[in-house]
Amino acid sequence: KVYLVGAGPGDSELITIKGKRCLEMADVVIYDYLANPELLKYAPEAEKIYVGKKSANHTLDQEKINELLIQKAKENKVIVRLKGGDPFIFGRGGEEALALRKHGIEFEIVPGVTSGFAAPLYAGIPVTMRGINSTIAFATGHETDDKEFSFIDWSALSKMGTIIFYMGVKNMPYIVENLLRSGKGKDTPVALIRWATYPNQEVLTGNLGNILQKMRETNFKAPAIIVIGDVVSLRDELMWFEKRPLFGKTILVTRTKEQAGKLSTRLKDLGANVIEIPTIEIVPPECWDDVDKSINQINKYDFIIFTSTNGVKYFFGRLRELKKDIRILNGIRICAIGSATKGAIEELGLLVDVVPDEFVAESVIEKLKQYGIKGKRFLLPRAKVARDVIPESIRELDGYIDVVTVYQTVKPDSSLKSLKEVFEKDMIDIITFTSSSTVKNFFDLAGNAKISSRVRFASIGPVTSDTLRSYGVEPSCEAKIYNIDGLVNAILDMTKKD
- Using a 10 angstrom Cβ sphere, with 0-12 exposed, 13-18 middle and 19 or more buried, the burial of residue 468 is buried
Total Cβ atoms within 10 A of residue 189: 19
Catalytic residue among 18, 20, 48, 53: 53
- Whether 53 is a known active-site residue: answer yes
* Contact assessment for residue 381 and residue 306, using Cβ atoms and an 8 Å cutoff: yes
32 included as an active-site residue: yes
Residues 11, 32, 86, 429: which is the catalytic one?
32
- Active-site annotation holds for 485: no
3-class SS string, the chain: CEEEEECECCCHHHCCHHHHHHHHCCCEEEECCCCCHHHHHHCCCCEEEECCEECCEECCCHHHHHHHHHHHHCCCCCEEEEECECCCCCCCHHHHHHHHHHCCCCEEEECCCCHHHHHHHHCCCCCCECCCECCEEEEECCCCCCCCCCCCCHHHHCCCCEEEEECCCCCHHHHHHHHHHCCCCCCCEEEEEECCCCCCCEEEEEECCCHHHHHHHHCCCCCEEEEECHHHHHHHHHCCHHHCCCCCCEEEECCCCCCHHHHHHHHHHCCCEEEECCCCEEECCCCCHHHHHHHHCHHHCCEEEECCHHHHHHHHHHHHHCCCCHHHHCCCEEEECCHHHHHHHHCCCCCCCECCCCCCHHHHHHHHHCCCCCCCEEEEEEECCCCCHHHHHHHHCCCEEEEEEEEEEECCCCHHHHHHHHHHCCCCCEEEECCHHHHHHHHHHHCCCCCCCCCEEEECCHHHHHHHHHCCCCCCEECCCCCHHHHHHHHHHHHHCC
Strands 79-83 and 2-6 turn out to be parallel
Cα distance between the two ends of the chain: 53
Instruction: Exactly one of 72, 86, 160, 167 is catalytic; name it.
Output: 167
Q: State the number of CA atoms in the 13 A half-sphere of 73 facing the CB.
A: 23
- What is the torsional sign of CA 39, 40, 43, 44? negative
Q: Which residues are catalytic?
A: 32, 53, 167
